[in-house]
């Protein structure tokens, strides 16, 4: 049996129509990243930040998982606990395709975090009108997403999985954002084979044993077929 860790990034969701903030103009839906994705931005103007993520959350209703998400769900049905998906994405497309073993290292749009008590709650509606925390009642909810300068979630579980995996596959990531950009070297150091599937060679391509270029919607189903053959 092969233990597999898959890292997914913006590229896999982009093929479903989810806009990324690493577009050529450096803007995310017309906003500079530092105006909507830092703790300082939230302290300065919480309403702008809340409205931005409310719009991203609402936009999830208009997108669907693509063949790459479905292929990873199919892989989980075969490998079970031997597959772990680590995603940098804050959308729920992996879950909607049927994946259950998913770690959202950068948080989730469909979650709110209380700044008073720290509780994370499933959240499907807006936050701009200051709703109260279901746990403690404080009107102190923020988007449960990891902003620049904050520590990603689940790093212990991720590095444990990298340590024991036989195969590490990176899908649709730029290879530019740490700590995720360092996962390939960690996995290799622990003895895993490493494969990159990306639209173009990434900044981290040279660290992989093998790099394939093309749309995730084509490359991922083909790779899953290969692995399960």
Question: Of 69, 94, 106, 128, which residue is the catalytic one?
Answer: 106
What's the Cα-to-Cα distance from 56 to each of 39, 59, 210, rounded to whole Å? 18, 5, 34
Cα–Cα distances (Å) from 5 to 2, 43, 46, in that order, read: 10, 36, 36
Q: Which stretch binds Zn ion (CB under 5 A): 10-18, 70-78, 94-102, 127-135?
A: 127-135
Question: Contact with Zn ion (CB under 5 A): which of 105, 114, 180, 184?
Answer: 114
3-state DSSP assignment of residue 87: strand
Q: What CA–CA distances, in Å, run from 127 to 21, 34, 51, 130?
A: 21, 20, 8, 6
Q: Does 112 bind Zn ion (CB under 5 A)?
A: no
Q: In the range 130-169, which residues lie near Zn ion by CB under 5 A? A: 133, 135-136
**Shortest Cβ distance from residue 142 to Zn ion (Å)?**
11
Spatial separation of the C-alpha atoms in residues 183 and 168, rounded to whole Å: 9
Active site residue 106: yes
Of 58, 117, 189, 228, the one binding Zn ion by CB under 5 A:
117
Chain residues binding Zn ion by CB under 5 A are 114, 116-117, 119, 133, 135-136
Q: Which residues does the annotation mark as catalytic?
A: 106
């Amino acid at each position: 049996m092969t233990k597999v860790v898959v890292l997914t990034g913006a590229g896999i969701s982009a093929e479903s129509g989810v806009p990324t903030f690493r577009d050529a103009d450096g803007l995310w839906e017309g906003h500079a990243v530092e105006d909507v994705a830092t703790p300082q931005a939230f302290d300065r103007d919480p309403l702008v930040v809340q409205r931005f993520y409310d719009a991203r959350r609402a936009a999830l209703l208009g997108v669907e998982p693509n063949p790459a998400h479905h292929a990873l769900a199919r892989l989980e049905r075969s490998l079970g606990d031997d597959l772990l998906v680590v995603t940098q994405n804050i959308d729920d497309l992996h879950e909607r395709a049927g994946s259950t073993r998913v770690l959202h290292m950068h948080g989730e749009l469909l979650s709110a975090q209380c700044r008073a008590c720290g509780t994370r709650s499933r959240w499907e509606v807006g936050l701009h009108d200051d709703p109260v925390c279901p746990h403690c009642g404080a009107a102190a909810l923020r988007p449960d997403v990891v902003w620049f300068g904050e520590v990603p979630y689940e790093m212990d579980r991720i590095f444990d999985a990298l340590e024991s995996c036989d195969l590490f596959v990176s899908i649709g990531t730029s290879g530019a954002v740490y700590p995720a950009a360092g996962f390939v070297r960690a996995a290799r150091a622990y003895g895993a084979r490493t494969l990159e599937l990306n639209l173009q060679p990434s900044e981290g391509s040279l660290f992989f044993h093998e790099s394939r270029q093309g749309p995730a919607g084509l490359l991922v189903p083909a790779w899953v077929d290969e692995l399960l053959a």
